[in-house]
Amino acid sequence: MNRTFLHFLLLASLTAPATAQVATLTRDQLLKFTAKYEGERFPDGRPKVADKLLKKMDGLSAEEVWAVLPGEGYNNQYEGNFQILHPEKKLIGRAVTVQFMPARPDMKGPSDEDAKAKGIINPGNQRVLDMLQEGDVLVADLFGKIEGGTLVGDNLAIYIYAMTHKGLVVDGAIRDLEGIFPIPMGAYYRGVHPTPISKEIMITGINVPIRIGNATVLPGDVVFGDREGVYFVPPHLVGKVLNKADELHIHDEWTREKFVNETGKYKSSEIYSTPRDPKLQAEYKEYLKRKLDEIHAKDGIIK
């Protein structure tokens, strides 16, 4: 039995009782898997990291996220090698996850019937689109499929942006790039193809753990995409990432000031990455404390 299907069986076993319905983590399961997060949540249990923290993350880089996550044991949260719709525009929001698999009739048929019984008009890709709300980022595991793996075209991309004002990450493809490009949304995708999404694929999970390349993504993770790639930040670590980033920004500011305004006075190795002279160390520590005090007075200490 292959690993992908075993993964599906595991997810299906987490939902009660076993039916043809699409797997979804229950509120209790989401609370259990994200127990370290102490902030606000959506009614279904998905973490709802505050908008003000998402806004502050816009000033970060992937390297600043990396400065925290591996040290906390999170080594599988980054994925690159995407095509990026607008590399100059960051994508930051709360993950809504969806998992697709190649279709098989004995699963897809009953699942579609279950959807219709619940009043769901389109049991395919629009099923998850209709769940999106402000601040969400749609994160889709389409198992790298390009032809027929086109999650959205221009019309549905406009819908995603209108609903979320964010965008999407898809381990698969999009279509109608000429129509999508003018939309000021963040979008990360593996490829582009003119075909519509195939009827030979099916949704097997919504708001469940999914794999995007080398990353494991949970519902409510903070999606952080820049021109390098995408980080999926566990919500309980957002505050730590932001606080660490403040220190890194101050360090870089002090370092660059020395390089530019005191050119020739110091060799690069005397300043970067850590000042070697005790007097310079003391100067930097005083500068760091003063700047952090200013930030904390303005924003408070982020938790």
pLDDT tens-digit map of 152-165: 999 999 999 999 99
Tokens standing for 77?
């949260």
Tokens standing for 196?
């519509």
Euclidean distance between CA atoms 172 and 96, whole angstroms: 16
pLDDT value of residue 13: 45
Tokens standing for 128?
């998850």
Q: Which amino acid is at 139?
A: V
Parse the chain into domains and list their residue ranges.
3-234, 239-299
* Torsion sign over Cα 210, 215, 221, 225: negative
277 vs 176, residue with greater confidence: 176
92 pairs with which residues across the strands? 224
pLDDT tens-digit map of 49-70: 999 999 999 989 898 999 999 9
The radius of gyration computed from the CA coordinates of the chain, to the nearest angstrom, equals: 22
Q: What is the pTM of this model?
A: 0.84
Residue 12 has pLDDT above 60, yes or no: no
Q: Let me know: does 217 contact 197? Beta carbons within 8 Å.
A: no
79 pairs with which residues across the strands? 230
243, with CB counted inside 10 A (0-12, 13-18, 19+), is middle
Residue 227 has pLDDT above 70, yes or no: yes
pLDDT value of residue 114: 82
DSSP-based three-state secondary structure for 244: helix
Tell me which CATH code domain 3-234 carries.
3.50.30.40
124 vs 187, residue with greater confidence: 187
Euclidean distance between CA atoms 262 and 75, whole angstroms: 39
pLDDT tens-digit map of 170-198: 999 999 999 999 999 999 999 999 999 99
Residue 4 has pLDDT above 70, yes or no: no
Euclidean distance between CA atoms 85 and 230, whole angstroms: 13
